[in-house]
Amino acid sequence: MSHTLGIRQAQKQKTRQAFLDAALALLEEQSLSSLGLREVTRAVGVAPTAFYRHFRSTADLGVALVDEALGSLHPMVKTTVSTAGDSEERITRAVELIARHVEAYPAHVRFIARERHGGVQPVREAIRDQLARFADEVKAELAKDPQADGWSDDDLLMLAHLYVDQMLITASLFLEALEASQDEREQVAQLATRQMRLISIGRRHWLD
């Protein structure tokens, strides 16, 4: 299936990626609904009309960015939840993983946090759908745990959403603390850890 792309297709994909990269960079200081088509092409170094060869509109570009950003997030979520060890150790590792991800892909995280409730409907919907998929995956992982015995499907999904939202909140906090002192980032980590711990305690006593 992996047919080597022709020179033409390869160049096109390269330009397309340049659009995505440039847009992501521009979006660190504004939101998608104010991102101009010409602004992006200027940053890439191509003519404004070249934009239309790849995207219908900036909203369309935004949807493509959702895929890229949350695509890179998928492995994180999975490993975060399915990490071995006791509950406390799991939490510590999960928080650390989130911190690492934010350091590795700050622009992606910022984009998702910003546009999740942003002013562009198709993008909001794309993010909502992807996060729902995440929640489903988390739910599937949770179901494997013996702790989940006796839990209804609804309750498992409820907990999964709680975890996903908590991850996003934590990621956003790490993002704000990215250029802050080591101490401040440590404080974010401890806050997130304790919140996760409290949720885990609630989980453990859910069926009481």
Partner DNA sequence: TCATCCAGTTAACAACTGTTCTCTGGAATT
Partner DNA sequence: AATTCCAGAGAACAGTTGTTAACTGGATGA
Q: Residue numbers of the site for DNA (CB under 7 A)?
A: 6-9, 11-12, 14-15, 36-39, 42, 46-54, 57-58
Residues in 166-195 at the binding interface with a copy of itself, rule: CB under 8 A = 169, 172, 191, 194-195
Give the tokens for residue 5: 């792309």
Query: Are 134 and 77 in contact, with CB atoms under 8 Å apart?
Result: yes
What is the Cα–Cα distance from 85 to 89, expressed in whole angstroms? 6
Q: Does 122 bind a copy of itself (CB under 8 A)?
A: no
Query: Are 82 and 141 in contact, with CB atoms under 8 Å apart?
Result: yes
**Nearest partner of 104 among 128, 76, 78, 82, judged by Cα:** 76
Burial grade of 91 (CB within 10 A; 0-12, 13-18, 19 or more): buried
Q: How far is the CB of 166 from a copy of itself (least distance, A)?
A: 8
What is the Cα–Cα distance from 117 to 136, expressed in whole angstroms? 21
Residues in 30-49 at the binding interface with a copy of itself, rule: CB under 8 A = 30-34
Question: Which listed option, DNA, a copy of itself, none, makes contact with residue 7 (CB within 5 to 8 Å by class)?
Answer: DNA
Burial grade of 20 (CB within 10 A; 0-12, 13-18, 19 or more): buried
Identify which of residues 15 and 87 has a Cβ nearer to a copy of itself in the complex: 87
Question: Which listed option, a copy of itself, DNA, none, makes contact with residue 203 (CB within 5 to 8 Å by class)?
Answer: a copy of itself
Identify which of residues 76 and 157 has a Cβ nearer to a copy of itself in the complex: 157
Identify which of residues 53 and 204 has a Cβ nearer to a copy of itself in the complex: 204
Identify which of residues 36 and 45 has a Cβ nearer to a copy of itself in the complex: 36
User: 107 CB contacts (<8 Å, ≥6 apart)?
Assistant: 24, 25, 27, 28
The 8-class DSSP code of residue 31 comes to -
Residues in 136-155 at the binding interface with a copy of itself, rule: CB under 8 A = 154-155
Identify which of residues 45 and 202 has a Cβ nearer to a copy of itself in the complex: 202
Q: Does 202 bind a copy of itself (CB under 8 A)?
A: yes
Tell me the residue type at 80.
T
Q: Which residues here bind a copy of itself, judged by CB under 8 A?
A: 27, 29-34, 110, 113-114, 116-119, 154-155, 158-159, 161-162, 165, 169, 172, 191, 194-195, 198-206, 208
